[in-house]
Amino acid sequence: MKFRCERDTLAEAIGTAQRAIAVRSGALPVLSGVHVTAADGRVELVGSDLDLTIRASIPAQVEEPGQAVVPAKLFDGLTTRLKAGTVTFEVEGDDARISAGPARAGVRLLPADEFPRVASPEGTSVTVDAEPLAEALRQVIPAASRDDARPILTGVLIMATTTGIRLVATDSYRLAVRDLDGVGMLSEGQKVLVGARGLNEVQRVFSSGEISVTLGDREVRFANESRSVTTRLIEGDFPNYEQLIPNGYPNRLVVSRDALEEAVRLMQIVGEGREGTPVRLAMSAAGLELSATAQERADAVEAIDAKFEGTDLTVAFNPQFLLDGLLAINGEDAVLESMDPLKPATLRSVEQPDFMYLLMPVRIS
């Protein structure tokens, strides 16, 4: 196999594909590599851990078609450090030779015949606008769990609504719900649970244009002309999240999103390295006061302007969970609605009613 292409194009494709490579111990050694296929004026790079597969296709001058599996970290590191311009990739026996200008490097290949063949899901494909889908995924994914011991919570529930789809994620400490109108990915009454890790790659790879979505029995594939992300569906029943959402709240705080974010970041520094250090929000007609105390280490207090309706109340939250919610909402003002110091509160944007972020308070003495 031998081909030539632009270094920046190749480096970007390697970086995209390698995000799916296996990082778990016990995985097949060949899955630590990127599978490279050269033919018909294009080079396709594939990374996979069998649950998630990412393909990137780029134009190239192919002199000798073929395939190889290149160790991903070496491939990425060597390519990004070559001089800009044309890169030549050539397989010689069990090695790959990569060169650009005066620089040359050799890499021992992994056995290409051991790389699993990952088939694309069979099913009806629909075309959707990537930008609003990517934005919706950006908002809900932070609320999904990263604990593989609870696989159901590591996914994002995607369900059909009368006007489009709804995306839901929770790790049992917070909940994100986003309604996306005009997206006909699913048929009426249909719902699927898709791994948040795979969907995170979808929102990274596809930020604009149109993409094709193919839903199979076990996988879902998102693709355009040069990129595809295929991820397995998660089996099981998603929690009944609707019962967690109160019908109404007696207390309502409206505050500048940016001002609250900066204040929470200040409080977070006080408890840096100590996950148990909550940020307290004291809400009253006078406004909002935030405080945090790490015993015998540091403390901080900051008052910011806010409009509050309700009974004076102090609620404490995990600062990172609160920050995730603030970063997810759009618009200038954030609305925090609460009942009491022990019941879930919701965070929304004044300008975007179709997204809600619910988070559990932290019990304080």
pLDDT over 70, % of the chain: 98
**Higher model confidence: residue 14 or residue 294?**
14
Sole residue written with tokens 């840096």: 272
Please indicate, yes or no, whether residues 275 and 321 belong to a single structural domain of this protein.
yes
- One domain for residues 282 and 239: no
Which letter does DSSP use for residue 232 in this model?
A: E
Residue 25 has pLDDT above 70, yes or no: no
According to DSSP, the β-strands at 86-92 and 2-6 are: antiparallel
Residue at 365 is within a domain = no
**Residue 117 per-residue DSSP state:** -
Collapse the DSSP code of 196 into the 3-class scheme (helix H, G, I; strand E, B; otherwise coil) and give the result: helix
- Residue 244 is predicted with a pLDDT of 85
346-357 average pLDDT score: 94
Looking at residues 15-30, what average pLDDT do you find?
Answer: 84
Shared domain check, 133 and 237: yes
Q: Are residues 133 and 222 in the same domain?
A: yes
Last residue of a domain, one of 243, 266, 290: 243
Rounded-to-10 torsion of CA 70, 75, 78, 84: 110
Higher pLDDT, 22 or 291: 291
Q: Do 239 and 259 belong to one domain?
A: no
Domain C-terminal end among 65, 84, 114: 114
Cα Rg, the chain, nearest whole Å: 24
Within a domain: 309: yes
User: Is position 120 within any domain?
Assistant: no
Banded pLDDT at 26 (limits 50, 70, 90): low
State residue 276's pLDDT score: 67
pLDDT of residue 158: 96
> What mean pLDDT is predicted for residues 111-126?
87
pLDDT at 274: 59
The mean pLDDT value for 40-63 works out to 96
pLDDT band at 27 (very low <50, low <70, confident <90, very high): confident
Long-range pairs, 261-267, Cβ under 8 A, ≥24: 261/323, 261/326, 261/327, 263/290, 263/302, 263/304, 264/290, 264/319, 264/322, 264/323, 264/326, 265/323, 266/290, 266/300, 266/302, 267/291, 267/292, 267/300, 267/302, 267/319
What is the per-residue pLDDT for 215?
92
Under a CB-based contact definition with an 8 Å cutoff, are residues 362 and 316 in contact?
Answer: yes
Structural domain containing residue 93 = 2-114
Are residues 192 and 292 part of one domain? no
Residues 92 and 135 in one domain: no
More confident residue, 25 or 144: 144
Average pLDDT (27-51) is 94
pLDDT band at 275 (very low <50, low <70, confident <90, very high): low
- The domain that holds 167 is classified in CATH as 3.10.150.10
Domain count, the chain: 3
What is the pLDDT at residue 123?
A: 81
d(CA 328, CA 14) in angstroms, rounded, equals 29
Say how far apart CA 133 and CA 167 lie, in whole Å. 10
Question: Domain check: are 235 and 138 in the same one?
Answer: yes
Q: What average pLDDT does this structure show over 48-64?
A: 96
pLDDT for 20 equals: 94
- For the segment 112-117, the average pLDDT, to the nearest whole number, is 92
Domain edge (last residue) among 218, 243, 268: 243
Residue 361 confidence (pLDDT): 96
pLDDT for 230 equals 96
Q: 218-228, pLDDT tens digit by residue?
A: 999 999 999 99
In the predicted model, is pLDDT for residue 62 greater than 70? yes
Residue 119, in any domain of the structure? no
Shared domain for 138 and 233, answered yes or no, is: yes
Residues 237 and 266 both lie in one domain: no
**Mean pLDDT for the stretch of residues 267-284:** 84
Question: Would you place residue 262 in the very low, low, confident or very high pLDDT band (cuts 50, 70, 90)?
Answer: very high
Residue 302 sits in the same domain as residue 284: yes
Q: In degrees rounded to 5, what are phi and psi of residue 253?
A: -115, 130
299 shares its domain with 192: no
Q: What is the pLDDT of residues 127-179, one digit of tens each?
A: 999 999 999 999 999 999 999 889 999 999 999 999 999 999 999 999 999 99
Task: Assess if residue 165 is contained within a domain.
Answer: yes
Average pLDDT on 84-94 reads 94
- List the one residue out of 261, 317, 275, 271 whose CA is nearest residue 294: 271
* Cα 136–Cα 138–Cα 141 angle in degrees, nearest 5: 100
Does residue 26 form part of some domain? yes
